[in-house]
């Protein structure tokens, strides 16, 4: 990323001119008008995508701190987690995240965020996000749940102590139903809780 010397907007490294005002990296007039148009189209595409985003997380808190500090704290955190800044203004910050399903249980939950927008001003600090990874988690848990229920039913025909067989069947079936019904929701609740903590931390940083 580089900052436009003319208007102060954040610009992706791939672009040689500012998408907002058309200035070159050194603040001068653009040498390539086509590059300026390409940058504008890229940003317009991002805005179009946001218009159709399904918001899975949204929260607003009272805010009386420094807007610039709040947005800087958010950018520092998410860029470190491999998020990409797609748009920044004086009052807002939009980022694109990995949005993948957790491949291991201990994986950072922020990797499940596909898009996030932070806005500050007017006595409020708000955050909204699309959690594409948790949707993928939900599909995984539903498949796993069905598998466990089937395994439980198959366990009925197993030879052995009747009480043990019945107990095993009940445990497998119950675990399968549980994962099928609430597995994905638990993942989303976990990410939402972490985002609540981030929002509180941003507000605290901005008051220092």
Same domain, 15 and 38: yes
- Tell me: the pLDDT tens digits for 147-185? 888 888 887 777 767 777 788 888 888 888 888 888 878
C-alpha span between 42 and 199 (Å, rounded)? 28
Same domain, 126 and 189: yes
Residues 131-135, mean pLDDT to the nearest whole number: 82
Same domain, 15 and 116: no
Residue 78 has pLDDT above 50, yes or no: yes
Report whether 38 contacts 114 (CB < 8 A): no
Same domain, 42 and 101: no
> Which range scores top for mean pLDDT: 61-65, 117-121, 125-129?
125-129
Residue 117 has pLDDT above 60, yes or no: yes
Same domain, 37 and 59: no
- Tell me: the pLDDT tens digits for 18-64? 767 777 877 776 656 666 666 666 556 656 565 666 788 989 988 88
Same domain, 133 and 161: yes
Q: Is 13 left (phi over 0), alpha (psi -120 to 50) or beta?
A: alpha
Report whether 4 contacts 18 (CB < 8 A): yes
Q: Which domain holds residue 93?
A: 55-208
Residue corresponding to tokens 């470190």: 80
C-alpha span between 87 and 55 (Å, rounded)? 18
Where is the domain boundary, 52, 70, 88?
52
Is the pTM higher than 0.75? The answer reads: no
C-alpha span between 198 and 128 (Å, rounded)? 12
Domain count within the chain: 2
Same domain, 154 and 61: yes
């Amino acid at each position: 990323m580089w900052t436009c010397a003319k208007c102060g907007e954040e610009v992706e490294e791939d672009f040689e001119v500012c998408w907002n005002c058309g200035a070159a990296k050194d603040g001068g007039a653009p040498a390539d008008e086509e590059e300026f148009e390409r940058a504008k189209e890229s940003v317009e595409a991002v805005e179009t995508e946001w218009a159709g985003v399904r918001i899975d997380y949204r929260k607003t808190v009272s805010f009386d701190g420094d807007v610039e500090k709040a947005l800087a704290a958010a950018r520092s955190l998410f860029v470190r987690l491999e998020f990409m800044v797609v748009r920044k203004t004086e009052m807002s910050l939009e980022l694109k995240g990995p949005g993948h399903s957790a491949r291991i249980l201990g994986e950072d939950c922020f990797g499940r965020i596909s898009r996030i927008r932070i806005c500050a001003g007017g006595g409020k600090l708000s955050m909204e996000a699309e959690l594409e990874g948790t949707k993928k988690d939900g599909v995984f848990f539903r498949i796993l749940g069905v598998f466990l229920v089937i395994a439980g039913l198959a366990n009925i025909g197993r030879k052995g102590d009747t009480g043990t067989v019945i107990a095993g069947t009940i445990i497998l079936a119950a675990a399968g139903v549980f994962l099928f019904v609430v597995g994905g929701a638990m993942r989303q609740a976990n990410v939402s809780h972490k985002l609540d903590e981030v929002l509180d931390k941003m507000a605290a940083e901005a008051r220092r």
